[in-house]
């Protein structure tokens, strides 16, 4: 394929990536690289909806207050206020792009979810993310200035100087090396690169995320010398369908939307007692960290394999209309939501931390932006408020397009640096692929058992030691053999697992999504971001610091 040239390179095809691509097209040519098909992302899996103030009885101040309370002291208030206030304009852009919200654009059917004090969740039944992704994908496919590269996996960022030779602010991102479907690594060069590769749920054994969520953008940015923040704050969704009769070898668990509890669903112990009664003033609509810990504690206390979510307070006709996808999935398993309690367990869902960015998506490195779950803007703090993620992705993508438009004339005149093609460094085809499967499984089991909902210093230290051994083997394999997608992903989850453990060990308190039995209190002295920079991912990142 040679070198692929474009003005803008977007890595990822969720709401952040496709929003950015569609809004950058009027400025110049856009390449969108996505490692699966265009519709496969965390965004397309979102059931609940997108939070925005659209009802006259609601207010920006109320949405801000709910977000700050969920974030447990670590939200950046100016970022929260900015993104919340841009919500209505964001919804207008999505509707203009062809998104069809339930109830229509003028009088949308607003849902209620945990941590929200008002009904403000715009949704498309229980397929909101899919509907948004459909509309944006159609928009991008129809735009002649956008070239779509499906089945292409980004390997690493291309830098003007080697990351060990310059701090990020004195370096520049020139593009990315990308593994094409034919197994060859192609050079993609651009004047600006947008990281929108989503989160890293696949670092854990059980997750709601699709198999593309391996933290690629976060890992590439870290290897380029950028800081990641607050990786210890991993949100575990409290209610995923427990189905031991049909095991999912990939570890993906079917999400039962928080909107179910917004429409009257209650959590029950196996004995039929209301779990959240007396546990929190909002009961079943408490923030996700509170609910997930309550479920985890009850399961550990009693040895129960699952708890129940009871929707019997609502009639069958309502449930079929409001939650058609969930209703169908449960019916396939012999469960009638209107009568049968649903067996539920938590699963890894969302990384609140990520690549440190300014509110407009700029990173510390010229030419590199980040948006969506890949980025850390400060909106989510120590715990994300339900349905704020799609809002953040769309708003920051719009800000990136505006920022690039302001600078575009000057940027077009800047001479472009020379870019080297990918060097295989003598790598050969693998004859030890079993190592990939073994280490993939080892990492994800370690994080699930040692870096889960409730943590301890001892378990974190054990995870750190074991991950160091696995990471050395992963790094050795990566440099010896020719690349495949699963090797790229394994390298990335190994790094993200190490960095997550490092961030967790650096926080000696319990706050939001990070709860440790050794430091159960929230401390004012710990009211700070954790920082993953060079040296924290000692094993894998340290070994690779001197390599291109």
Is the sign of the CA dihedral 334, 343, 47, 503 positive or negative?
Answer: negative
Is the sign of the CA dihedral 454, 500, 526, 239 positive or negative?
Answer: negative
Q: How many CA atoms lie within 13 A of 465 on its CB side?
A: 6
* Phi (first) and psi of residue 266, to 5 degrees: -125, 145
Cα end-to-end span (Å), the chain: 21
Say whether 365 sits in a helix, a strand or coil: coil
Distance in angstroms (rounded) separating the CA atoms of residues 139 and 128: 17
**DSSP-assigned states of every residue in 209-229:** S-TT-S-HHHHHHHHTT--EE
455 is catalytic: no
Distance of CA 496 to the CA centre of its chain: 12
Distance in angstroms (rounded) separating the CA atoms of residues 395 and 42: 17
Q: CA dist 375 to 42, 330, 372, 450, 497, Å?
A: 14, 34, 6, 25, 17
Distance in angstroms (rounded) separating the CA atoms of residues 216 and 202: 11
Residue from 120, 191, 229, 288 carrying the catalytic annotation = 288
Distance in angstroms (rounded) separating the CA atoms of residues 489 and 218: 12
Q: How long is the chain?
A: 548
Burial class (CB in 10 A: 0-12, 13-18, 19+), 157: buried
Burial class (CB in 10 A: 0-12, 13-18, 19+), 4: buried
- Nearest to residue 469, comparing CAs of 511, 444, 430, 498? 498
Q: What tokens were used for 159? A: 């830098």
- Nearest to residue 264, comparing CAs of 306, 319, 317? 319
Burial class (CB in 10 A: 0-12, 13-18, 19+), 272: exposed
Rounded (to 5) percent helix, strand, coil in the chain? 40, 20, 45
Q: Which residue has the tokens 């546990």?
A: 279
**DSSP-assigned states of every residue in 462-528:** HHHHHHHHHHHHHHHHHHHB---HHHHHHHHHHHHHHHHHHHHHH--S-BTTBEETTS-S--GGG-S
- Nearest to residue 192, comparing CAs of 75, 362, 15, 334? 362
Enzyme catalytic residues: 288
């Amino acid at each position: 394929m040679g070198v692929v040239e474009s003005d803008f390179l977007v890595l990822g095809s969720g709401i952040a990536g496709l929003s950015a691509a569609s809004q950058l097209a009027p400025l110049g040519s856009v390449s969108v690289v996505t490692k699966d098909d265009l519709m496969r992302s965390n965004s397309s899996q979102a059931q609940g909806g997108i939070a925005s103030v659209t009802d006259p009885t609601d207010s920006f101040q109320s949405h801000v207050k709910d977000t700050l309370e969920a974030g447990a002291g670590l939200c950046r208030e100016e970022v929260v206020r900015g993104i919340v206030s841009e919500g209505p304009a964001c919804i207008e852009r999505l509707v203009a792009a062809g998104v069809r919200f339930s109830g229509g654009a003028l009088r949308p059917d607003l849902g209620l979810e945990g941590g929200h004090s008002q009904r403000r969740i715009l949704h498309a039944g229980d397929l909101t993310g899919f509907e948004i992704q459909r509309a944006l994908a159609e928009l991008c496919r129809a735009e002649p200035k956008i070239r779509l590269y499906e089945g292409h996996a980004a390997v690493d960022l291309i830098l003007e100087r080697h990351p060990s030779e310059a701090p990020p602010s004195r370096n520049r991102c020139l593009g990315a090396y990308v593994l094409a479907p034919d197994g060859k690594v192609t050079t993609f060069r651009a004047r600006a690169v947008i990281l929108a590769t989503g989160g890293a749920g696949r670092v854990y054994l059980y997750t709601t995320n699709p198999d593309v969520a391996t933290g690629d953008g976060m890992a590439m940015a870290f290897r380029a010398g950028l800081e990641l923040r607050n990786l210890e704050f991993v949100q575990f969704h409290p209610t995923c369908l427990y189905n031991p009769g049909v095991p999912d070898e990939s570890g993906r668990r079917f999400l039962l939307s928080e909107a179910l509890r917004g429409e009257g669903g209650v959590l029950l112990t196996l004995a039929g007692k209301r779990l959240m009664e007396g546990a929190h003033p909002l009961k079943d609509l408490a923030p996700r960290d509170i609910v997930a810990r309550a479920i985890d504690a009850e399961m550990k206390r009693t040895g129960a394999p699952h708890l129940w979510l009871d929707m019997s307070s609502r009639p069958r006709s309502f449930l079929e209309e409001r939650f058609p996808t969930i209703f169908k999935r449960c019916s396939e398993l012999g469960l009638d939501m209107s009568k049968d309690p649903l067996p539920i367990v938590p699963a890894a869902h969302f990384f609140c931390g990520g690549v440190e960015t300014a509110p407009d998506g700029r990173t510390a490195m010229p030419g590199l932006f980040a948006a969506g779950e890949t980025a850390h803007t400060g909106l989510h703090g120590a715990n994300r408020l339900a349905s704020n993620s799609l809002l953040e992705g769309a708003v920051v993508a719009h800000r990136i397009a505006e920022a690039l438009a302001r600078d575009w004339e000057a940027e077009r005149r800047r001479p472009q640096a020379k870019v080297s093609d990918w060097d295989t460094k003598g790598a050969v085809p693998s004859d030890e692929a079993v190592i990939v499967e073994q280490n993939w499984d080892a990492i994800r089991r370690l994080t699930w058992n040692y870096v889960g909902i409730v943590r301890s210093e001892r378990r974190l230290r054990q995870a750190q030691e074991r991950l160091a051994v696995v990471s050395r083997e992963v790094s050795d394999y990566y440099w010896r053999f020719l690349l495949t997608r699963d090797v790229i992903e394994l390298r990335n989850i190994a790094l993200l697992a190490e960095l997550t453990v490092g961030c967790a060990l650096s926080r000696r308190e319990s706050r939001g999504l990070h709860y440790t039995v050794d430091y159960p209190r929230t401390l004012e002295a710990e009211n700070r971001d954790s920082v993953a920079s060079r040296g924290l991912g000692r094993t894998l990142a340290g070994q690779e610091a001197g390599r291109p």
